[in-house]
Amino acid sequence: MKDLLTAAAVLFGSLVLFVPLTVVTILVAADTLWIVGTSALLQNELAYAAVCLLALGFGYVTAMEICRVRLHGFDQLHRGTRPRRLARHGVLGVVSVAAAIALGRILLDAISVGFANGDPEIIGLGVAGLLALSWVGVRSLSAFRAGTRRFRDGAAE
């Protein structure tokens, strides 16, 4: 009974925390990519509704995977057939890239505010944040590659 309550609490916490956060992150990233690609705001309601539904789906999958990892460990990311594993890693990869895009947008906005107000501290913090985001991205990609290589070689089984 205690295990069931723990699992329910972890599931509820994952849903409440990660679904809204993922949805907002994907919406901001999609809006940013739309602005970069078209130089206009995303005003097409059908496209916006499609992005919202896609973001909700990605948020749900992300919350479920985080819940599984918290309950059963990182080996849960490698369960199932190869297409399912690729889909799982693809969804989590899209969410990670969306988070990097959203953070990059926030930092670039901070830098532009620093230039507009002539505030070198804000510019410096924004540049430092972009450098840190780049460093984390490179480290994350190399760790992901090392992990998938180790799993493929049979060390994780």
Half-sphere exposure of 103 (CA within 13 A, CB side): 18
Q: Name the residue with higher pLDDT: 154 or 104.
A: 104
Give the structural domain span for 59: 1-154
Question: For 60-109, what is each residue's pLDDT tens digit?
Answer: 999 999 999 988 888 888 888 889 988 998 999 999 999 999 999 999 99
Q: Report the number of distinct structural domains present in the chain.
A: 1
Q: Determine the residue type at 37.
A: G
For 105, phi and psi rounded to 5 degrees? -65, -45
Confidence at residue 154, expressed as pLDDT on a 0 to 100 scale: 64
Query: Which alpha helices (DSSP H) does the chain contain, by range?
Result: 2-38, 45-72, 82-117, 120-152
Confidence at residue 72, expressed as pLDDT on a 0 to 100 scale: 87
Is residue 157 scored above 60 in pLDDT?
no
Among 31, 29, 26, 32, residue whose Cα is nearest residue 61: 26
Q: Mean pLDDT across the chain, nearest whole number?
A: 88
Share of the chain above pLDDT 70, in %: 95
Question: For 100-133, what is each residue's pLDDT tens digit?
Answer: 999 999 999 999 999 999 999 999 999 999 999 9
